[in-house]
């Protein structure tokens, strides 16, 4: 009796070939899905980065344009908080008829976000609250000015117009003399208290002092931002920015407001 020959039947070869095709299909499918997912992830990340810098740019332009125009002044200031120097773009405007109606909008980057602060430019305190070395303004009526208005003006309309002009001139002089203590060229010069409580006058009289600004508490976050470098040249404003994902951009604007001289 002869033994049956051992060999590979056509059916077994066919099954092996089908399994190989299925394995190859699974590997290629996995590869294509992985590549597609990576491309999609890269596209989303790129879009998010572009959106982030566009959002920051739009927010900055809108924030500045909201206060641009008129007789305001623009300054680039620098404040220090906990050893960190913070560059600030300040737009100073007069919104009312009285001396103290001067407000300032400040835009800056702090603690990983673009922030906006909107505060009074001056605050009133009693003379007895002055500290040695603190700069302050005291407004006193000038008899010569009163006589001038009485002699030269003929109608209430002329008087009101002249008072408005005087108020605007005072505003400009005060803003421009912010850092010039005892500036004798200004009608309303800053004085410097040589001792606590000031030097002369009633301790209960009110005086104006330049309101301090604290980046950590006087601003509200608008969007994420880690670097804000404003520079001012004539009426040209340039702001270099960097987002949290290290996208950089420079915003350039031609302002209507004047720069502080």
Give the pLDDT confidence of 56-98 residue by residue, as tens digits.
Answer: 888 888 888 877 766 677 888 888 777 888 899 988 888 777 7
26 and 85 housed in the same domain = yes
21 and 70 housed in the same domain = yes
195 and 114 housed in the same domain = no
- Percentage of residues of the chain with pLDDT beyond 90: 9
* Predicted pLDDT of residue 70: 61
Average pLDDT over every residue of 116-136: 85
68 versus 221: the higher-pLDDT residue is: 221
| pLDDT classification of 109: cutoffs 50, 70, 90 | very high
Tell me how far apart the alpha carbons of residues 113 and 207 are, in angstroms, rounded to a whole number: 35
Residue 92 in contact with residue 121, Cβ under 8 Å? yes
Q: Say what the pTM is.
A: 0.64
* Predicted pLDDT of residue 97: 73
- Tokens describing residue 243: 């987002």
- Percentage of residues of the chain with pLDDT beyond 70: 74
> Does residue 17 belong to any structural domain of this protein?
yes
Domain with 37, as residue range(s), is 13-121+211-261
> Does residue 6 belong to any structural domain of this protein?
no
Residue 64, number of CB atoms within 10 A of its CB: 22
How many structural domains does the chain have?
2
Phi–psi pair at 252, nearest 5 degrees = -120, 130
112 and 41 housed in the same domain = yes
34 and 160 housed in the same domain = no
Residue 118, H or E segment: strand 113-120
| pLDDT classification of 7: cutoffs 50, 70, 90 | low
168 and 260 housed in the same domain = no
108 and 224 housed in the same domain = yes
* Predicted pLDDT of residue 172: 64
> Does residue 1 belong to any structural domain of this protein?
no
Mean pLDDT of the chain: 76
* Predicted pLDDT of residue 240: 93
Residue 81, number of CB atoms within 10 A of its CB: 14
> Does residue 7 belong to any structural domain of this protein?
no
What residues contact 225, with CB distance under 8 A and at least 6 apart? Answer: 56, 109, 112, 113, 114, 241, 242, 243, 244
162 and 242 housed in the same domain = no
Average pLDDT over every residue of 202-225: 85
| pLDDT classification of 229: cutoffs 50, 70, 90 | very high
pLDDT at residue 134 tops 50: yes
> Does residue 2 belong to any structural domain of this protein?
no
147 and 232 housed in the same domain = no
114 and 221 housed in the same domain = yes
Instruction: For residue 258, give the nearest of 190, 176, 177 by alpha carbon.
Output: 176
94 and 205 housed in the same domain = no
Rg over alpha carbons for the chain, rounded to the nearest Å, is 34
> Does residue 22 belong to any structural domain of this protein?
yes
232 and 242 housed in the same domain = yes
What residues contact 100, with CB distance under 8 A and at least 6 apart? Answer: 120, 122, 123, 124, 208
Could you tell me the CA-to-CA distances from 28 to 16, 35, 37, 141 in Å, in that order? Answer: 18, 10, 14, 89
Average pLDDT over every residue of 113-132: 87
> Does residue 169 belong to any structural domain of this protein?
yes
218 versus 97: the higher-pLDDT residue is: 218
> Does residue 93 belong to any structural domain of this protein?
yes
Q: What is the largest CA-CA distance in the chain?
A: 148
């Amino acid at each position: 009796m002869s033994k049956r020959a051992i060999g590979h039947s056509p059916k077994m070869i066919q099954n092996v070939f089908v399994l190989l095709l299925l394995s190859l299909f699974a590997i290629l499918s996995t590869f294509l899905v992985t590549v597609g997912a990576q491309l999609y992830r890269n596209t989303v990340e790129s879009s998010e980065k572009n959106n982030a810098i566009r959002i920051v740019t739009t927010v900055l332009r809108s924030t500045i344009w909201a206060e641009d125009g008129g007789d305001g002044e623009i300054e680039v200031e620098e404040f220090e908080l906990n050893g960190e120097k913070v560059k600030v773009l300040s737009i100073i405007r007069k919104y009312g008829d009285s001396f103290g109606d001067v407000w300032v909008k400040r835009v800056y980057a702090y603690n990983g976000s673009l922030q906006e602060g909107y505060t009074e430019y001056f605050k009133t305190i009693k003379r007895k609250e002055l500290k040695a070395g603190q700069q302050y303004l005291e407004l006193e009526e000038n008899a010569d000015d009163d006589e001038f208005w009485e002699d030269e003006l003929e109608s209430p309309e002329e008087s009101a117009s002249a008072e408005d002009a005087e108020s605007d001139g005072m505003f400009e002089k005060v803003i421009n003399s912010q850092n010039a203590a005892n500036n004798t060229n200004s009608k309303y010069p800053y004085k410097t208290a040589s001792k606590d409580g000031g030097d002369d006058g009633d301790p209960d009289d009110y005086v104006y002092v330049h309101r301090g600004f604290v980046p950590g508490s006087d601003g509200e976050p608008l969007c994420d931002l880690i670097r804000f470098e404003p520079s001012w040249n004539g009426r040209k404003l340039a702001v270099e920015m960097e987002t949290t994902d290290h996208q950089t951009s420079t915003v350039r604007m031609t302002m209507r407001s004047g720069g502080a001289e």
